[in-house]
Amino acid sequence: MTLIATTAFGLEGVVKREIQAMGFDIVQVKEGRIEFDARLTDIPRANLWLRSADRVLVKMGEFEARTFDELFEGVRSLPWEDWITRDGRFTVLGKGVKSQLGSYRAIQSITKKAVVERLKGAYAADWFAETGPAFTIRASLLKDVALLTLDASGAGLHKRGYRAHAGVAPLKETLAAALVQLSFWRPDRLLIDPMCGSGTILIEAAMLGRNMAPGLGREFASEAWPVIPSSAWHLARQEARAAIRPAGEMRIFGYDVDADAIAGAQTNAGRAGVSADIIFEQKDIRELWIDQQYGILISNFPYGVKLLDYKELNDIYISFNKTFRKKKGWSIYVLTADKMFPRYFKRGRPDRVRKLFNANIEVNYYQYYGERPPRKQQG
């Protein structure tokens, strides 16, 4: 069977590497989605372990549909009864982009009707109570091609369950995990986020460093599907728990000027099971003093307007520049919507600028590569 990991814009490469590292074969990569070969019993593992994907979907079918008849017949020809139980409750979410069928309401109702027709035949029934497990069907049309999927995740994978305190402008956990995976950070290297807010980037790094499955603390929609044996979930969770590496080796530091943010970050880290891996401290970035020659900095800067006035942001940039301009052993990764940032940080041109989206705002991930530490002197 084919599973689909959906991704935010620009994160396809990161998610593709995650999927390959789990041992799956990639079928195809498209904008916002990676398709891969899997077995039914891989659904728990994919949900538990994918760090930067938005959702895991089961691919039911893909076909051309320019008319409602074509959509109806295409949907009815798919084996819904293999998944949806006789008492299954199911919802259809429809979407039409650059297609002749553009009305999401019509796509939804046609799809629902076609699935009901299919199930009526398969179960020899006229009526369904819909009192059993929940199934969400997605019918997405793009350029007249309909993609039909079943959502195996339920709530988006960014909902890990550890973030009780979100702070003022929190990053999605999936994006934070991607920022870490796009950096040079490895668990033996020093990592700081000088404006860590609710601590998302550092918590995701610590979970990665400890080999913790990000989904261990939550449930998934497909856990209620009888087609997946509960033993598969049990085994995947057991394996994930056994894979966790002990705490104690990492050097991860988080600062923020806001005492409430730091308290929230500490609580969140505790809930994620990584409080022993991160040291949080209330500190203004203007007072940050770095004595280490080598390290990695990953941060999501305030963008002004919403969070700070212009003068304050200017001050932050000036002190950041002073602290890090000459630190050639530091790799610097900054996510911000402020396109002026590289003008203030005078270390040279960024080695790479990646366009991403954070809560629908276009942002850039500015990457400045530092020199690597000599082999013995880890830093």
Q: Which residues form the interface with ligand SAM (CB under 6 A)?
A: 167-171, 195-198, 200-201, 256-258, 261, 284-286, 300, 302, 316
Strand 278-282 to 252-256 pairing? parallel
Q: Are 174 and 52 in contact (CB under 8 A)?
A: yes
Extract the tokens encoding 318: 């000036």
CB of 283 to ligand SAM, least distance (A): 7
CB of 308 to ligand SAM, least distance (A): 6
Angle at the Cα of 152 from the Cα atoms of 62 and 170, rounded to 5 degrees: 110
Extract the tokens encoding 76: 């009815």
> Distance between CA atoms of 273 and 127, rounded to whole angstroms?
47
Nearer to ligand SAM, 116 or 307 (CB): 307
CB of 333 to ligand SAM, least distance (A): 12
- Name the residue with the smallest CB distance to ligand SAM: 197
Nearer to ligand SAM, 2 or 321 (CB): 321
Nearer to ligand SAM, 82 or 260 (CB): 260
Burial class (CB in 10 A: 0-12, 13-18, 19+), 344: middle
Q: Is the dihedral of CA 368, 374, 375, 376 positive or negative?
A: negative
Extract the tokens encoding 341: 């940032």
Nearer to ligand SAM, 223 or 258 (CB): 258
CB of 234 to ligand SAM, least distance (A): 32
Q: Pick the closest to residue 373 from 212, 245, 208, 251 (CA basis).
A: 251
Helix, strand or coil, per DSSP, at residue 67: coil
Residues 6+ apart with CB under 8 A from 148: 59, 60, 61, 62, 74, 75, 78, 111, 137, 138, 139
CB of 211 to ligand SAM, least distance (A): 22
Nearer to ligand SAM, 48 or 261 (CB): 261
Nearer to ligand SAM, 83 or 320 (CB): 320
CB of 332 to ligand SAM, least distance (A): 15
Nearer to ligand SAM, 163 or 189 (CB): 163
CB of 179 to ligand SAM, least distance (A): 9
